[in-house]
Structure 1
Amino acid sequence: MTRTVLVVDDDPDVREVLSLALSAFADWRVETAAGGAEAVLRCGSGGVDAVVLDVEMPGYDGRRTLRELRGAHAALPVVFLTAAADTTGLAELGALAVLAKPFDPLGIGTRLAGLLRWDG
């Protein structure tokens, strides 16, 4: 079964590297969004199995994005991938995990699959 991961980050380089890394790791379909508002719209369309979300983004930051996603998609797994120093309260908002940037492109797929309990 092909799973769809939505990568949400305002940095196009991070979106590209993470998309390539996850696509190469497993038979996952990777979609990207440049910000939180776009992510909420994409998840509203259905078909997203998990979200990898940055914390610090202009407009809808990661916290606001997660709060909005929880309103309609309570069971959707969300993993933060961030360089933010302040990650307090993310678990209470419903984040599955918080991973740090910079990340290892060769290991991020294994790490994410383990958190999501998906076979690679």
Structure 2
Amino acid sequence: MATKRILLIDDEDDIREIAQLSLEMIGGWTVATADSGNRGLETARAQRPDAILLDVMMPGLDGFATFQKLQADPQTREIPVILLTAKVQSADRQKFDRLGVSGVISKPFEPMSLAEEVAHILGWS
């Protein structure tokens, strides 16, 4: 089976670095990163990853707007998206569910179990 490719879109350098290391070393996946919604959209179109981890709170194009643009584009519409967020109140969870994302992972996440969480959400385990 081919190695899964993940796109991680987050404006925080340390989050990108920790998540990338976790997903590559523990999950065994190839990880591309983007530091903004716009760069993430470009990378998603160019690389067509197997899944996207998307930060909700970013300056400029936030996670919600980025997700809407991914859904509107026929090239990226079918890519599963998991939101990364510190917003975990039940009202926020309901909003995320209505969006149609594949899942939500709370920040701060546990680096040692991030790959397992992603695999579980996507049915890769």
Cα shift at 1:39: 0.7
Determine if the alignment matches structure 1 residue 117 to structure 2 residue 123: yes
Q: Is the 8 A contact 2:27 2:116 kept in 1?
A: no
Maintained 8 Å contact 2:56/2:85: yes
What is the alpha-carbon root mean square deviation over aligned residues? 1.4
Q: Is the 8 A contact 2:88 2:106 kept in 1?
A: no
Which residue does 1:82 correspond to in 2? 85
Q: Does 1:105 align with 2:73?
A: no
TM-score by length of 1: 0.92
2:24 aligned with 1:23, yes or no? yes
Residue 66 of structure 1: SS of its match in structure 2?
Answer: helix
Structure 2 residues without counterparts, runs of 5 or longer: none
Contact kept, 8 Å, 1:56 with 1:84, in 2: the verdict is: no
Runs of 4 or more off by more than 4 Å in structure 1?
A: none
1:69 aligns to what? 70
Q: How much does 1:101 deviate?
A: 0.6
**What does residue 36 of structure 1 align with?**
37
Structure 2 matches for 1:47-62, cutoff 5 A? 47-62=48-63
The one-character-per-residue Cα deviations of 1:48-101 (angstroms, maximum 9, x if unpaired) are 110001100000000000000001222210001111356342222221111111
Greater Cα offset, 61-70 or 18-27: 18-27
Task: Determine what percentage of the aligned residue pairs are the same residue.
Answer: 34
* TM score, norm. by length of structure 2: 0.89
AA aligned to 1:17 is I
Q: Could you give the per-residue CA deviations for residues 28-55 of structure 1, whole angstroms, max 9, x where no partner exists? A: 1001000111111111113311000110
Distance 2:97 2:36 in 1: 20
| Alpha-carbon distance in structure 1 between the residues aligned to 2:60 and 2:99 | 18
Q: Structure 1 or 2: larger helix share?
A: 2
